[in-house]
């Protein structure tokens, strides 16, 4: 992808959403796209919710331990302030952001930025998660990734919670979740 310009030289932005279950490679794909943008000499800024401290406080880190420096933010509105003259804005774990994340992405696009958002499209119950459904609705490009079901080996789209903790948001990784297909998630 590239930064599109119209005949008057005005930059045009767009939204790319990378979604899927845990362990499907969402963050890995986000990092890959952001690193390619850097290779193309585009100015890249990356943000994640300040509450996501699973692997690192200041980096976006995939389950495979690939990482890229990022800025943790408490509220989505801070992203507009910090993005400045970035050509490409990456946002990880979008489902954990406040309700303003959709408007933030729209504002960034109207400023001519390519916005790449990664997040869980469904929670552990298989229900739409946070503002991800709305982001998917306004996205210009969507990539849905799948993990492999640990029970049967089919494509997995559910982040099955293995712990007894309650609440929609329980930060964790392999200690709390495993990828499962629809059938195995109901067993």
Joined together, the tokens standing for residue 80 give 């507009």
Q: Is the pLDDT of residue 83 over 90?
A: yes
The whole-number pLDDT of residue 164 equals 76
Please list the alpha-helical segments (H only) found in 86-175: 101-110, 132-138
Q: For strand 14-20 and strand 141-145, is the pairing parallel, antiparallel, or unpaired?
A: parallel
Share above pLDDT 90 across residues of the chain, in percent, rounded to a whole number: 69
* Annotated catalytic residue within 16, 29, 45, 93: 93
- Residues 39-64 have pLDDT tens digits of 999 999 999 999 876 666 666 766 66
Q: pTM here?
A: 0.88
Is 93 labeled as catalytic in the residue annotation?
Answer: yes
The whole-number pLDDT of residue 46 equals 94
Domains and CATH numbers, the chain: 4-146 (3.40.50.300)
- Residues 98-156 have pLDDT tens digits of 999 999 999 999 999 999 999 999 998 899 999 999 999 999 999 999 999 999 999 99
CA-CA-CA-CA torsion sign (82, 87, 89, 90):
negative
């Amino acid at each position: 992808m590239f930064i599109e310009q119209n005949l008057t030289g005005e930059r045009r932005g767009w939204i790319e959403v990378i979604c899927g279950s845990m362990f499907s490679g969402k963050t890995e794909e986000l990092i890959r796209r952001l690193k390619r943008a850097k290779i193309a000499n585009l100015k890249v800024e990356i943000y994640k919710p300040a509450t996501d401290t699973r692997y690192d406080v200041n980096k976006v880190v995939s389950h495979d331990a690939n990482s890229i420096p990022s800025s943790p933010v408490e509220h989505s509105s801070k992203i507009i302030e910090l993005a400045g003259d970035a050509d490409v804005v990456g946002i990880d774990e979008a489902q954990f952001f406040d309700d303003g994340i959709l408007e933030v992405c729209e504002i960034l696009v109207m400023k001519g930025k390519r916005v790449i958002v990664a997040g869980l499209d469904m929670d552990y119950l298989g229900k739409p998660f946070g503002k991800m459904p709305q982001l998917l609705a306004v996205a210009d490009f969507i990539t849905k990734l799948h993990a492999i079901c640990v029970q049967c080996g089919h494509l997995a789209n559910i982040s099955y919670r293995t712990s007894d903790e309650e609440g929609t948001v329980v930060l964790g990784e392999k200690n709390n979740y495993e990828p499962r297909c629809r059938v195995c998630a109901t067993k």
